[in-house]
Amino acid sequence: MSEIILPFEPKEKETLSSYHSKVWSGLTLTLKGDHLELEFPEEADGLSSAVYGGGMVRLKRAVNLFVNRDYECSDPVRDMENKLGEWGYPLSSCAGLMTAVPLVHAAVAEEDTGSAGIFCCVTAAAGNAARAGVKRNVLAVYRPGTINIMLGIDGRLTPAAMVNAVMTAVEAKAAALADLGITDPENGLVATGTTTDAIVLGVSQNNRYRAEHVYAGTATDLGGAIGRLVYSAVTASLQSVKSRNYNS
């Protein structure tokens, strides 16, 4: 498995502004001031819970926008559209996420399984950690998510396998929170996420690996790698945030 890195974390040496994937040629993650842009080399099959452009769509890019914790969030779709126009991105073929986590805490992990290349980027904090499966207070309006996962898979997946990949990623996120001892402050139980987490998956459907994945659960090479990468990236981003005493 590839090393987990935080490409935009301030360092004594020159800090990167762009990260080029080692497993998916042409895939680029760039820090552009108030947002991260994940740009696919060609349009990819997308599946996401993104506040903007979510669902099953074709994706050319995914953006993760930093907003302050006091962000007035009555219309995040309109706000994202305005930002896309400001940045000069087309409104179509884009998934838009929002986070209150400073983007320098983005963690990146990659792996080539031999039948797919997997890229993972996570921004994570646990200030609004929550436990699924219990009664708790709910939010009437959108709040910027604090664990955002951007996955890119260079390979061929059926629609069912794409859903399976998202399931595996979410399971890995929950496992990372459990192992770090992060709890829901309302009830003291182990957290499974935060109140408004989001995930975006882009799949190339490229045939260069000459394999089509119909499953992506933890018993498969693909799912196993997804789980490892998400678990490690969530852990690394949370630890980076903790080291700087920042809570979201």
DSSP 79-119: HHHHHHHHHT--SSSEEEEEESS-GGG-EEEEEE-SS-EEE
Q: Hey, which residues does 148 pair with through a beta bridge?
A: 123, 198
Q: What are phi and psi of 228, to 5 degrees?
A: -65, -45
Question: pLDDT value at position 138?
Answer: 72
What are the φ/ψ torsions at residue 104 (nearest 5 degrees)?
A: -65, -15
Q: How confident is the model at residue 227 (pLDDT cuts 50, 70, 90)?
A: very high
Q: Taking the alpha carbons of 73, 94, 235, 103 in that order, is the dihedral positive or negative?
A: negative
Find the angle CA(232)-CA(152)-CA(209) to the nearest 5 degrees.
110
**Tens of pLDDT along 56-95?**
999 999 999 999 877 777 788 999 999 999 999 999 999 9
pLDDT at 135: 86
Average pLDDT over residues 17-30: 97
pLDDT tens-digit readout, 106-150: 999 999 999 999 999 999 999 889 999 998 777 655 555 589 999
Q: How high is the pLDDT of residue 11?
A: 75
Is residue 26's pLDDT more than 60? yes
| DSSP structure string for 23-48 | SSTT-EEEEETTEEEEEEEEEEEEEE
Query: What average pLDDT does this structure show over 146-175?
Result: 97
Alpha-carbon gap, residue 248 to 102, rounded angstroms: 9
